[in-house]
Amino acid sequence: MSHTFNLFNIRAFGYGVCKAMEKLFDGIYVNDEQLVKIRERSKKDCVVFMPSHKTYFDFLLLSVICFQYDIQLPAIAAGQDFMSMKFMAGVLRRSGAFFMRRSFGTDQLYWAVFSEYVQNHVVNNDRTVEFFVEATRSRVGKSLHPKYGVLQMVLEPYLRGTVFDIVIVPVSISYDKILEEKLYAYELLGFPKPKESTGGLFKAREVLNRKHGSCFMTFGDPISVRDYFGKSLHRGTFVCQPDSQFVLDVQAKNEIKKFAHRVVEIHNQNAVITVWSVACMVILQTFDHNDQATLSYSGVYTRVEDLIKLLNRLGATVNIDTSLDKSLRYYLKLHDDLFEPFDIEADDFQLMFIDFPVAHQKPEVPKAVMERAISRLILTTYSNGMIHAVDSEGILCQIVSNTEKCHVASAKEEFCWLHTLMKREFVIIPGELSELFDKTIEILTDSKIVKLSDSDPTVLEIVDRREAEQLGKLVLPYFYNFEMTFNTFDVNRPMISNLSEIVPTVQKNISDAYQNGLPNARLSFLSTEPIKNAFSALVDFGAFEKTSTGIRPNFPKLHQIRSRLSKFTNLSTTSKL
């Protein structure tokens, strides 16, 4: 599993990576004042980078930036899949990558050896450490539910008293154009992920022939573990435990989990929202009314401008270069492989999305539907890049809009329930939903979209109905997607015994709904990711029971969840797809 760090290899490989970057990107932007702080902290404490993960290029970029700013190059936790790449596996190993299994299971020996290897880097501080808290690339363009295993390993030396402090650095990485965007779309439809191989890497070199815009790397404030856990975790509980019997109690594990979610929250706060993310959200909303609509540039521009004004009103910032018109045309040109040919210089022009070829037929979904779905899945990946800025506000506005007289207490109850149901779509910090609700109320009242009633301060009123409805519409598709998954389970249908059966069954039902013109059925709902998230939510809420033959829905519980959700979607709770 170990790396074999070699500076000569680093320089040779780094030269090739930098040349590739010059062809791929128009620019790579970093907040260098934070990097100066990080460099100074790394001289006395172990620095652990925890980046967001959108593409394979993430860890290469971080190493290049560290090299540029004289920060010790990181030892990088990489998936064991890369070990199968001839030649490249050795190059990565000599560049600081060490390899880990995707799942340890019950192999306690592997866990012990791997954790000891990781902790030696932390204790000796011979180099910085890098791992992805989401564990895998986000194919959907937004933050994934974090994993906790490696973070627990990294923090253990501090809890044992072996090191005085550890410094965690969240890193948000955003791209104008993701290298694997089309590959992700096919994977989300259910086609298998290509195996990592050197041959596949060289075949993919054609991406170098296209520009991918800019990359934005935002390094968050270094977080001192000693300061962060100073009051919530007392090391005295752990320092006296023998190494062979070291065990974290429930409270310690919960605090570590909350910290992982906090890092993801920082990723979202520091993520750059681009004009293209906003444009994709606008286009998808247009497709809600007519999925085969022809879009005009002027129409898209007007709606993008309105949505950006709303985001600014909520305190979010959209990155605009010089002018909105220039930025929007830049992104349309950058992503012109999604459209039929158009004249980017014209005052106004039509945008028509192309259908992408699908080589293999899936029996659940017609080929024509899959071919059209690819572009919609790509659009959704980019639109998800802005949803973190409006998810809580959208949920609360939808709650208030669907109630004639909305009491704060009932709004809070529904807000917490919906956020818990959607926690894998909109990552939240466990145990802090009450604080999130208060913060959301404050944002919406400051922006004059809702307010507490003058006559009764326990009642919420809408001040700007147009903007409140617009915010609600931004999150509604996520509710529709879950509801369509829930409606797959019916007492009159055959029992589905496992997740591998659930995904294609839901995809078939969504495809049928789309072809039958059911309102609010998006092609992007065919994505496997939200289907799995919806099923996991049902499991969390106790709507499934394990049996000797598989899993069985608890229909009364399922009906209760579906009925409660339907209050905010305006879909019939008894409708069948």
Tens-digit pLDDT profile for residues 102-140: 777 777 888 888 888 899 999 988 889 999 999 888 999
- pLDDT band at residue 405 under the 50/70/90 scheme: confident
* Chain mean position to CA 271: 11
Instruction: Pick 105 or 559 by higher pLDDT.
Output: 559
Question: Whose structure tokens read 């933050």?
Answer: 143
> Mean pLDDT throughout 411-436?
95
- pLDDT band at residue 575 under the 50/70/90 scheme: very low
- pLDDT band at residue 81 under the 50/70/90 scheme: confident
| Domain residue limits, the chain | 7-270, 273-387, 397-566
Question: What does the pLDDT look like over 43-59, one tens digit per residue?
Answer: 889 999 999 999 988 98
- pTM of the entire structure? 0.91
Residue 200 has pLDDT above 70, yes or no: no
- Going from the C-alpha of 265 to that of each of 202, 258, 270, the distances in angstroms are 36, 10, 9
With H, G, I as helix, E, B as strand and everything else as coil, classify residue 517: coil
Question: Whose structure tokens read 């975790």?
Answer: 233
Tell me if 7-270 shares its fold with 273-387. Answer: no
Burial code (b: 16+ CB inside 10 Å, e: under 16) for 355-382 equals ebebeeebebbbeebbebbbbbbbbbbb
> Mean pLDDT throughout 389-403?
92
Average pLDDT taken over every residue of the chain: 88
Pair 28, 61: CB distance under 8 Å: yes
SS3 sequence, 17-40?
Answer: HHHHHHHHCCEEEECHHHHHHHHH
Instruction: Enter the CATH code of domain 7-270.
Output: 3.40.1130.10
Pair 398, 451: CB distance under 8 Å: no
pLDDT of amino acid 49 = 96
Fold of domain 273-387: Arc Repressor Mutant, subunit A (1.10.10)
> Mean pLDDT throughout 339-366?
89
Comparing CA positions, the residue from 332, 338, 370, 331 lying closest to residue 354 is: 338
pLDDT of amino acid 428 = 92
Q: Say which range, 37-51, 250-264, 494-508, has the weakest mean pLDDT.
A: 494-508
The top-scoring range by mean pLDDT among 114-123, 189-198, 495-504 is 114-123
Residue 572 has pLDDT above 60, yes or no: no
> Mean pLDDT throughout 8-31?
89
- In this structure, what token pair is assigned to residue 514? 């789309």
Pair 393, 412: CB distance under 8 Å: no
The strand order across the sheet containing 459-462 reads 406-407, 459-462, 450-452
> Mean pLDDT throughout 33-48?
92
Residue 576 has pLDDT above 50, yes or no: no
